[in-house]
Amino acid sequence: MIKKKQEGDKTEALTLRGVSLSDKSLSTFFCFLILGIFFSSNFVLAKNVYLTAENTEKGFIIVEPLQKTLEQNLNYTYSFFVYNESNGVLIDNSTVDCMLYIVDSNGNLIYNQNSNYTSDGYWKNNIQKNIFLELGFYSYGVKCEGGGLGGALSGIWEVTPSGKSGSSNIVFFVFVIILIYGITFISFFYGKNIPLTVLGGMAMIFLGVYTINKGIIIFRDSLTNYVSYLTIGIGFILSLWALLEQFEVI
């Protein structure tokens, strides 16, 4: 009886000891697990801080107007903004310098000047009209540097006689020419409408003077000048003829 009790106490002790050992193992496991999570979270946080610090060194963003067509032989002011790419802060000229370059269609550098910073927060270059004497395409570029950072952009300007481009504008201009010619000719040759002929002739004269100065949308050469002078001449003759008929001179 006593022996069985001793054996039972021994078994219970072993069982308690086993439970105790199991509890220690679980405690050790959870300790390592918590420490692992702690160090992992610290590593992730440190990595995020590193990325954030790295993002502050990206550089500059240069924002320019969307105007891509310029008028020939006309002064032009080119303006742009400079921002910090990481935080969007506007960049001034306290630590940064910007410069504009222009290259003609033959690849010749025809303009390179520092850009001026204005009190309104933007940069600008006042380009004289002698830069755009020739029709065609001009490449340009802007670079800004300072404080170990920088940014740049490039683009193309098309210089036309009127400062406009596009097939829709050409179609509209051709329609206006045909309309003016049509009204004048029909009024003179078929309708015998003297007032409308005079008005149409004056419109032709105005059209001819305009195309001499501005060209036809993107064209201005000897051919467009010839058409312009011809238009002025026809408009003048038809208007004069109609007036002479009105006063019964002829």
Domain ranges of the chain: 60-160, 167-246
Long-range contacts of 136-141 (CB under 8 A, 24+ apart): 136/104, 136/105, 137/105, 138/102, 138/103, 138/104, 138/105, 139/102, 139/103, 140/78, 140/100, 140/101, 140/102, 140/103, 141/100, 141/101
* β 136-146/69-71 pair status: unpaired
Beta bridge partners of 101: 112, 141
Of residues 141 and 1, the one with the higher pLDDT is 141
Distance CA 146, CA 112 (A): 18
Say which range, 103-112, 150-159, 183-192, has the weakest mean pLDDT: 183-192
Q: What's the pLDDT band for 168 if we cut at 50, 70, 90?
A: low
In the numeric block, the tokens 């405690």 are attached to 27
pLDDT of residue 109: 96
Measured CA angle at 116 (ends 110, 121), to 5 deg? 135
Note the Cα 76 to chain centre separation in Å: 16
pLDDT of residue 37: 43
Q: Please tell me the pTM assigned to this model.
A: 0.57
Tell me the mean pLDDT in the region 154-160. Answer: 92
Class of domain 60-160: mainly beta
Q: What's the pLDDT band for 220 if we cut at 50, 70, 90?
A: confident
Which amino acid, residue 245? E
Measured in degrees and rounded to the nearest 5, phi and psi for residue 101 equal: -120, 145
pLDDT of residue 112: 97
Q: What's the pLDDT band for 221 if we cut at 50, 70, 90?
A: confident
Average of per-residue pLDDT values in the chain: 80
Which of 113, 213, 197, 111 minimizes the C-alpha distance to 162?
213
pLDDT tens for each residue of 2-60:
444 444 444 444 443 444 444 555 455 445 544 454 444 333 333 333 222 333 458 99
Q: What's the pLDDT band for 173 if we cut at 50, 70, 90?
A: confident
Distance CA 26, CA 33 (A): 10
Of residues 11 and 242, the one with the higher pLDDT is 242
pLDDT of residue 205: 95
**Does residue 84 carry a pLDDT above 50?**
yes
Distance CA 234, CA 216 (A): 18
H or E stretch including 46?
Answer: helix 2-55
In the numeric block, the tokens 């439970």 are attached to 19
Question: How many Å is the Cα radius of gyration of the chain?
Answer: 41
pLDDT of residue 217: 66
Angle between helices 194-214 and 167-185 (to 10 degrees): 150
Tell me the mean pLDDT in the region 94-123. Answer: 95
